[in-house]
Amino acid sequence: MNTLGHNFRITSFGESHGVGVGVVVDGCPPGLKLDLGFIQKELDRRKPGQSKITTQRKESDEFQILSGVFEKITTGAPITIFIPNEDQKSKDYSHIKEQFRPSHADFTYQEKYGIRDYRGGGRSSARITAGWVAAGAVAKQVLEDISIQAFVSQVGELKVDEDYSTFDFDEIEKNAVRCPDPKVAEEMFKLIDSVRKEGDTIGGVVTCVIRNMPVGLGEPVFGKLHAELGKAMLSINAVKGFEYGSGFAGSSMRGSAHNDAIENKDGAITTKTNFSGGIQGGISNGEDIYFRVAFKPVATIMRDQQSVDKDGNEVMVSGKGRHDPCVVPRAVPIVEALAACVLVDLSS
């Protein structure tokens, strides 16, 4: 399945080392004046080569709109966005043509389809998320007043304060890690760089906060808002977990402490606390939605690892090519993009 959504549908296409990657957005309302500069800005936040703690693959990620937009206005027809690949080095992957890299999709793709594109992982590469970010940039413009802000809240054992209200979100884009706490961001950068120098990788967590939410988004049974968000987030490469509101920590609390007391505040129905994470009964209640997405360490490491080839012979797989030592800084705009797509889909 390459499509996400029902009313606002995004269909992803392309491979890591193919001609390019992209997305078809179907269900975007007509008459929307697109800010093309904003789309490029969002793609720039995701693109490789941003600093020494990201992959050094060089891609401008300059996009082309092939359909669905006339004079910068959406027509209601499917919007096709194409992003050419410019810096493929397929020879970096020739050594794994018949070998399976540990914790990659190599073995499962080969077994399921009987064929796989070994060049950078082909369809399983995070390169394809560029199209998702472009679709998310369109979705954000549909949402207008709803604010979606993600940031890196953890790298390895380094964490920021869990209370996001204490942060200045303007700090997020001021550092390479995209962490709102400058001091912790500096420590995170040093940790990622040291792991990179060791030829290893490290995981982390991205937190996302959605503000100015209307009441009523989401369905009461199948199609719950948190279920749709979870599906989208768990579709991102390297994601191992999703939790919203109090998450797993809520399982250790008592109901008397966990329940969000309801009050009438100047004529508005609101809650005193927000352990629900802005979602109750699968439907948004108007409070901030906040969730966390856990990312594993990138599977490709610059060390030899034990594996087998397609004939079952034991081999040592060598890490080559250009890869992120930690994926979370570049995952921030991807998380925001898919969250925006989900919200527009449920709003339609």
pLDDT given at position 276:
97
Region 212-238: what's the mean pLDDT? Answer: 97
pLDDT band at 312 (very low <50, low <70, confident <90, very high): confident
Q: Which of 8-22, 44-58, 209-223, 241-255 shows the lowest per-residue confidence on average (mean pLDDT)?
A: 44-58
Cα end-to-end distance, the chain, whole Å: 21
pLDDT given at position 52:
74
Region 65-78: what's the mean pLDDT? Answer: 97
Give the Cα separation of 82 and 35 in Å (integer). 16
- How much of the chain exceeds pLDDT 70, in percent? 95
Q: Spell out the CATH class of 3-347.
A: alpha beta
Q: What angle (nearest 5°) sits at the alpha carbon of residue 168, between those of residues 335 and 152? A: 35
Region 325-344: what's the mean pLDDT? Answer: 97
pLDDT band at 93 (very low <50, low <70, confident <90, very high): low
pLDDT reading at 90 higher than 60: no
pLDDT given at position 187:
97
Is the separation of the CB atoms in 79 and 138 below 8 Å?
yes
CB atoms under 10 Å from CB of 266, counted, come to: 5
In the chain, the amino acid numbered 83 is: I
More confident of the two residues 49 and 281: 281
CB atoms under 10 Å from CB of 198, counted, come to: 13
- How much of the chain exceeds pLDDT 90, in percent? 72
Helix axes 36-46, 129-143, angle to 10 degrees: 140
Average pLDDT, the chain: 92
Give the three-class secondary structure for 307. strand
Residue for token pair 């034990």: 306
pLDDT given at position 125:
87
Token output for 211: 């503000």
pLDDT reading at 253 higher than 80: yes
Start-end of H helices in the chain: 36-46, 106-113, 129-143, 182-197, 225-233, 255-258, 328-347
pLDDT band at 315 (very low <50, low <70, confident <90, very high): confident
Region 7-36: what's the mean pLDDT? Answer: 95
Tell me: the pLDDT tens digits for 143-191? 989 999 999 999 999 999 989 999 999 999 999 999 999 999 999 999 9
Region 28-51: what's the mean pLDDT? Answer: 92
Give just the sign of the alpha carbon dihedral 77, 149, 49, 237: negative
